[in-house]
Amino acid sequence: MPFKKIFLNEKDIPRRWYNLAADLPSPMQPPLGPDGNPLKPEMLAKVFPMNIIEQEVSTARWIDIPDEILELLTLWRPAPLRRALALEKYLLTPAHIYYKDESTSPAGSHKPNTAVAQAWYNKKFGIKRLTTETGAGQWGCALAFACNLIGLECKVYMVRISFDQKPLRKIMMQTWGANCIASPSGQTHAGRQILKKMPHTPGSLGIAISEAVEDAVTDKSGSSRYSLGSVLNHVLLHQTVIGLEAKKQLKIAGERKPDVVIGCVGGGSNFAGIAFPFICDKIHGEKIEIIPVEPTACPTLTKGPFTYDFGDTAGLTPLLPMYTLGHGFVPEPIHAGGLRYHGMAPLVSQAAVEGLINPRAFDQIKCYEAAMLWAKTEGTICAPETSHAIACTIDEAKKAKKEGKEKVILFCYSGHGLMDLAGYDKFLSGKLTAYSMPKHKIEESLRPLKNFPKARKIKTGRW
């Protein structure tokens, strides 16, 4: 009988993170400071501790995971690799569908993989308090959990629409001792400015980032820093334990390699976690199709240009070379709150420029239909973000059936949806629509970028 789940021993947890920056065949362009010149690492010192900035700019292929972080990760890692045999049977597909189950972490998603690492490095640097933003609440919960574990204060600016849609996430954050408020708030200059212009805005990750960064850098005690749950190199790095474990587990299952690797993308860290170790194999000659999946309501990779843009709405972050819908973009209030981000991680963006990954977009109706089929076959209720990866997996499994190929499909089950039932309720009562971002809205939100520095699309042409 084929395996249903594969566990690793605690001693098999990866000892090093994988850094794709070391292997990307085309060079990354640097982040730019306010003067338009490449940013010097020390210019970030008010935002992040120096030990994290060192990781951010590192081009080493492997970075050792400190023993104390490994010990924290073993609270829930290694995470199981499961095979979706019931879904395979339902679809009558010859494909083997595997999924890395990141929903088993205390906060219910992949996010704690970087939250504990970031909290640990901040504590080591002498920081006492972290600020952050959260969309759906998964990241806020992860950082609240990690700060509690390590002994740091935590303040979370939660995007207004999610704050209203997902009150249980706020209670989780409070249970771990964090202070969670709705963004835009009246507590920061950036928040007040936005409320003046758009008093009824549902908020966005870009706005919440502006508030959290401002809060950290204006703390006169100097003991606050900001922590980001996605996008930046060090965050993507910390998530690579997902793909590194999956590689070992696929071997145990008797699979030489996956043919297709799939992850949903917001800012890019979940996708990077499952995909980067396999992108490394692809760079070195393996044939693997690697698919980031985003919502049609926020089609950063599939419809946005590759250019320099701010990571936040108020323009407090450096300019990053990335696919973007414009830093002022406020997406429709779809339920996959964690995928409502205007930009894409520079490392994921450069992999897309190089042609190493093939992005796709799905609307929320198709995603909820996939989530329902998943619940009825595999039994678990997935996060709305995760449903994007499932929708794509189902398409790929059907394609394998059409082609008559026994393909190995791997995707990241990035989180459970037990705190997201309001979205299921709306779907079940027919209140959701299949929203796609119209072209004129994209053009409008890109207008402010007209005079920004242009990023060059540098690629080798090998893929």
Ligand X SMILES: Cc1ncc(COP(=O)(O)O)c(C=O)c1O
CA–CA distance, 239 with 243 (Å, rounded to integer): 8
Query: Binding to ligand X (CB under 6 A): which residues in 10-69?
Result: none
Give whichever of 161 and 264 is closer to ligand X, judged by the CB atom. 264
CB of 392 to ligand X, least distance (A): 13
User: Is the distance from CB of 348 to CB of 236 less than 8 angstroms?
Assistant: yes
User: Is the distance from CB of 141 to CB of 111 less than 8 angstroms?
Assistant: yes
CB of 391 to ligand X, least distance (A): 13
> Contact letters (x/-) for ligand X, 326-345, by CB under 6 A?
------------xx------
Determine, following the binding rule CB under 6 A, whether residue 359 of this chain makes contact with ligand X: no
Q: How far is CA 401 from CA 46, 82, 89, 344, 375, in A?
A: 53, 21, 12, 32, 22
The residue from 204, 386, 387, 393 that contacts ligand X (CB under 6 A) is: 386
The residue from 48, 99, 139, 306 that contacts ligand X (CB under 6 A) is: 139
The residue from 258, 268, 277, 331 that contacts ligand X (CB under 6 A) is: 268
In sequence order, the 6+-apart residues with CB closer than 8 A to the CB of 343 are 231, 267, 300, 309, 311, 320, 322, 323, 324, 325, 327
* Listed ranges 159-167, 305-313, 380-388, 395-403: which one lies at the site for ligand X (CB under 6 A): 380-388
Residue 226 token pair: 């900001």
The residue from 29, 131, 138, 324 that contacts ligand X (CB under 6 A) is: 138
Size of the site for ligand X (CB under 6 A): 21
Query: Binding to ligand X (CB under 6 A): which residues in 298-317?
Result: none
Q: How far is CA 258 from CA 264, 272, 294, 368, 410, in A?
A: 17, 16, 21, 26, 6
* Listed ranges 46-54, 136-144, 213-221, 353-361: which one lies at the site for ligand X (CB under 6 A): 136-144
Q: Which residues pair with 182 in a beta bridge?
A: 158
CA–CA distance, 401 with 25 (Å, rounded to integer): 34
Give whichever of 105 and 188 is closer to ligand X, judged by the CB atom. 105
Determine, following the binding rule CB under 6 A, whether residue 136 of this chain makes contact with ligand X: yes
The residue from 156, 159, 265, 455 that contacts ligand X (CB under 6 A) is: 265
CB of 284 to ligand X, least distance (A): 25
CB of 394 to ligand X, least distance (A): 17
CA–CA distance, 302 with 442 (Å, rounded to integer): 12
The residue from 258, 304, 415, 423 that contacts ligand X (CB under 6 A) is: 415
The residue from 270, 296, 350, 387 that contacts ligand X (CB under 6 A) is: 270
CB of 144 to ligand X, least distance (A): 14
Give whichever of 124 and 426 is closer to ligand X, judged by the CB atom. 426
CA–CA distance, 292 with 272 (Å, rounded to integer): 9
Determine, following the binding rule CB under 6 A, whether residue 230 of this chain makes contact with ligand X: yes
Collapsing DSSP to helix, strand or coil, 262 comes out as strand
**Rounded to 5°, angle at Cα 43 from 39 and 49:** 120
* Listed ranges 81-89, 132-140, 168-176, 448-456: which one lies at the site for ligand X (CB under 6 A): 132-140
Q: Give the strands of the sheet with 96-101, arranged side by side.
A: 5-6, 81-83, 96-101, 408-413, 260-264, 289-295, 360-362
Nearest to 338 by CA among 414, 280, 257, 258: 414
The residue from 162, 183, 240, 269 that contacts ligand X (CB under 6 A) is: 269
User: Is the distance from CB of 222 to CB of 356 less than 8 angstroms?
Assistant: no
Q: Which residue is nearest to ligand X (CB)?
A: 338
User: Is the distance from CB of 63 to CB of 14 less than 8 angstroms?
Assistant: no
Nearest to 250 by CA among 54, 94, 97: 97
Give whichever of 136 and 195 is closer to ligand X, judged by the CB atom. 136
CB of 450 to ligand X, least distance (A): 27
The residue from 112, 206, 267, 295 that contacts ligand X (CB under 6 A) is: 267
Alpha-carbon dihedral angle through residues 223, 224, 229, 233, given to the nearest 10 degrees? -50
- List residues near ligand X by CB under 6 A: 109, 135-136, 138-139, 230, 264-271, 338-339, 383, 385-386, 414-415
